[in-house]
Chains A and B, each alone.
Chain A
């Protein structure tokens, strides 16, 4: 619905929007254009004239096995993180939505991890899941070398996924609970009259009606896993991308390449690939959000 605008002034709206638009132009569009430019030129790190090189930067990026490693790591990270947060969030939302005594307290508690910054959580989890103290030490005492994220890339990847999932489960839970609360009570009550038990009702009524919310969360969480600010923070503070590039997600590699390797062109080319990915995600979301079903 488009609101009928009521005030007729040509300069006031410009004045009101100007501060934010200026900031956005300066700190968003200008850098975004620079990324596009740098990706296709050879940018000397210490100033000088940039030279147009076409797709050479992309060729170099794609020829690097470590780049493909980072794509694989990002994909595993985002997929596992998404599946875990959505499954656990869904189960908890269905449980809390049954409104038994005390469920309000659980609802209050489940959101708390979302307040914690990824890096701060990462620092704490370095202790909680460390090989020689904390929770995993007893297991390691019985089976030496069973868990060692400092040594094995796969273990380190599990560690950062756990931190991501811990923080974001409360987030999916909130959205799924909101979705469940918009399922009309009359529907579930009618099903109950017909003798459908709570589990059957969850599978046959609640989950199908949640489909739009689930889909929307799927896109949000995949985007978050690939390019979220938490993703970089968790990896940087917990594992530093290691061991052996085992947790080097795409975002980490871009920042590392730019500020450690001073390879602006390579970093920008990698950014362009990520930007393309985000656009695909956003496009999918829009296509389907148009068709979102509303149950009134």
Chain B
């Protein structure tokens, strides 16, 4: 800038430090608390200095909430959601952008409307479908032919039930569609001149070209999948399938035992870590994906 503005610069730093206290302060409190003893964490006023008890607290939390299997389940769930979303949205966007078909607009709108209804609002019937997957088909068949079929298949307590309904929304499709639209027309023309068919073009050209796009979507979807709360709560009753978000309540100190919040904080820190690492390490792509999906 042309001007020298010492006062404004000082004010800028002051604001940025205030922002740091507001947004990073809670992390520091969690870190400090998670590394203290029972006496220290319950002392008034609060000690802001981290101590050396983090590993003890973390292992106590790990066994109390059975975090080992929960972390694995959350990881599997986040990966399924990510891979499913990325693969399906790339395919749908390819169909919408690169073909001349009367169904183009139909596909587009059918996918677009899914952005408007969050899971929380339609959770009861979605749960009903997951609990009895063939119900729609049975009703359709009996309405069309009058034949009563008695096939049942429920997705409760399974990874499919945990992830499929979360994959069934459109965020990624639009990210891919936007990216495909920015590619020059000549690209597909050239591919056609070379005599490669649409599938070859998709696999050999589009997928490698959309690497950045894929990484952006992957970071967003991993965080989204890991942080799911309500759906696992409904789908899972078997402890073997519990995710980290379901273990949170097990970390709380119970009513009539010691107020060992140090263990609770250490446990919640473990649960927060994976998406935090993804956003910290892949921040450039995460931000790019965020800004692009919402436009």
Contact = CB atoms under 8 A, between A and B. Distances in A.
A196 B62 CA distance: 57
B292 to A, nearest CB: 10
Most chain A CB inside 10 Å of its own CB: which residue of B1, B100, B120, B129: B120
Contact of A123 (B12, B111, B268, B294): B268
Contact of A106 (B19, B33, B261, B265): B19
Interface in B145-187: 164-165, 167-170, 173, 180-181, 185
A220 B290 CA distance: 13
B227 interface: yes
Interface string B5-45: 10011001101100110111011011001000000011111
A6 interface: yes
A231 B119 CA distance: 12
A218 to B, nearest CB: 13
A68 to B, nearest CB: 19
Contacts of A228: 118
B136 A124 contact: no
B91 A95 contact: no
Contact of A120 (B9, B15, B245, B252): B245
Contacts of B3: 192, 197-198
Contacts, number: 318
A124 B30 contact: yes
Nearest to A138: B45
11 contacts: A12-B99, A27-B129, A28-B114, A35-B122, A100-B12, A106-B20, A133-B43, A134-B46, A169-B23, A254-B123, A267-B124
B120 A30 contact: no
A123 B252 contact: yes
Contacts of B116: 275, 278-279, 282
Contacts of B252: 123, 126
Interface string A104-134: 0010111111111111110111111000111
Given A95-B15, A120-B244, 17 more contacts: A1-B181, A3-B97, A5-B104, A19-B92, A24-B110, A24-B169, A26-B168, A123-B248, A124-B268, A133-B46, A169-B22, A197-B3, A198-B5, A227-B120, A229-B228, A233-B230, A254-B121
A178 interface: yes
Interface of A: 1, 3-10, 12-14, 16-17, 19-21, 23-32, 34-35, 38, 88, 91-92, 95-96, 98, 100, 102-103, 106, 108-121, 123-128, 132-135, 137-138, 141, 166, 169-171, 174-175, 178, 188-189, 192-193, 197-199, 216, 220, 227-229, 231-233, 236-237, 251, 254-255, 258-259, 264, 267-268, 271, 274-275, 278-279, 282
Interface string B88-123: 110110111111110110010011001011111111
Interface stretch (B50-58, B207-215, B276-284): B276-284
Given A27-B126, A169-B23, A229-B230, A271 B44 contact: no
A188 B107 CA distance: 44
Most chain A CB inside 10 Å of its own CB: which residue of B124, B130, B185, B265: B124
Contacts of A25: 110
Contact of B265 (A109, A124, A236, A254): A124
State the majority secondary structure of interface residues on A: helix
Contacts of B205: none
A249 to B, nearest CB: 10
B5 A6 contact: no
Interface in B265-295: 265, 268, 271-272, 275-276, 278-280, 283, 286-287, 290-291, 294
A1 B169 CA distance: 24
B2 interface: yes
Nearest to A289: B295
Given A137-B45, A232-B120, A123 B264 contact: yes
B92 A20 contact: yes
A120 B199 CA distance: 43
B276 A112 contact: yes
